[in-house]
Amino acid sequence: MQPSSRLDQLPPYLFAELERKIGEKKAAGVDVISLGIGDPDTPTPELVVSALAEAARDPGTHRYPSNRGRPELREALARFYGRRFGVELDADTEIVPALGAKECIFNLNLAFLDPDSIALAADPGYPVYTGGPLLAGAEAVLMPLLPERGFAPDLDAIGGEVAERARLLYLNYPNNPTGAIVPEGLFERAVEFGREHGVLIVHDASYTETTFEGYVAPSFLETPGAREVGVEVFSLSKGWNMTGWRSAAIMGNADAVAAYWKLKTNIDSGMFE
């Protein structure tokens, strides 16, 4: 038996490694506070749980799902984006449900990267921004997030060959793990960068609904021009205590959404109806 060489390039998944270390400490009798994987420790809202319980009894949900996602779900997501962010999306062409932000981000790498291309990934950042490009046979180039820049990557520092080979740029605000909110002007600069270099901007919006002290986080798609060059990956996981439900969506540029969907139909069969 010989696993593929692409697996050799991957470091052990960070959170699996942390889990192992925590297990060791606990076994040694240490009272550990985990700063590993972020997972809400309160239950999913009752409304959601009872809707699923009811839907699970309906034989209409028992067959293969529609691979574009239920129209009712896409329309509800479009209404939510309109109400919450003032962003009007076309539910037929600009939204596809995903089996969690992780699936979506990983598959965007397969959909957009060739062996000589680059994904620009924040450092520190979510492991899939770097593991995904490697598994796609491409390269991840790290953009340092420094406190003196408000944890914004310095897009002016990315030029030459790296900018030419770049196809994807990952942003994530409110940011994990720094806790930073989006610095003034970064989304606008990212739109310019996307236009200049033909790079798809991917905003991971996992934490827009998890903010404090009255701060209300924007959507990247509110930025003028964002939909020409980018997509947002929106997730129910953190905002609604639904990490186990694997429920997210890609929203934004219709061509990028179509490319993601084309790839995805070859990989999974969609979300439980």
Interacting residue ranges for ligand PLP, rule: CB under 6 A: 38, 100-102, 126, 172, 176, 204, 206, 235, 237-238, 243, 248
Residue 44 beta carbon to ligand PLP: minimum distance, rounded to whole angstroms: 13
In the bound complex, what is the minimum distance in angstroms from residue 126's beta carbon to ligand PLP? 4
Of residues 101 and 140, the one with the C-beta less far from ligand PLP? 101
Identify whether the C-beta of residue 155 lies closer than 8 Å to the C-beta of residue 193: yes
HSE-CB for 49 with a 13 A CA cutoff = 8
Q: Between 99 and 163, whose beta carbon lies closer to ligand PLP?
A: 99
Nearer to ligand PLP, 187 or 197 (CB): 187
Please report, as a single letter, which amino acid is at residue 268. Answer: D
Quick one: 36 or 137, whose CB is closer to ligand PLP?
36
CB within 8 Å of 112: residues ≥ 6 apart: 119, 167, 168, 200, 256, 259
Least distance in angstroms from the C-beta of 129 to ligand PLP: 9
Distances (CA, A) of 272 to 9, 55, 250: 33, 10, 17
Cβ nearer to ligand PLP, comparing 208 with 237: 237
Smaller CB separation from ligand PLP, 34 or 195: 34
Instruction: Identify the CA nearest to 175 among candidates 200, 153, 194, 191.
Output: 153
Min dist CB 230 to ligand PLP, Å, is 16
Closer to ligand PLP by CB, 109 or 172: give it: 172
CA distance 213 to 235: 22
Which residue in the shown chain puts its C-beta closest to ligand PLP? 100
Q: Which residue has the tokens 């997210």?
A: 248
Kindly report the backbone phi and psi dihedral angles of residue 25, in degrees, each rounded to the nearest multiple of 5, phi listed first: -65, -45
- Within 10 Å of residue 43's Cβ, how many Cβ atoms? 10
Cα first-last separation, the chain: 38
CB of 28 to ligand PLP, least distance (A): 28
Task: Give residue for tokens 């989304």.
Answer: 187
For residue 31, the minimal CB distance to ligand PLP (Å) is 25
CB 176 to ligand PLP: min, Å: 4
DSSP state of 145: -
Nearest to 117, CA basis, from 162, 71, 78, 173: 162
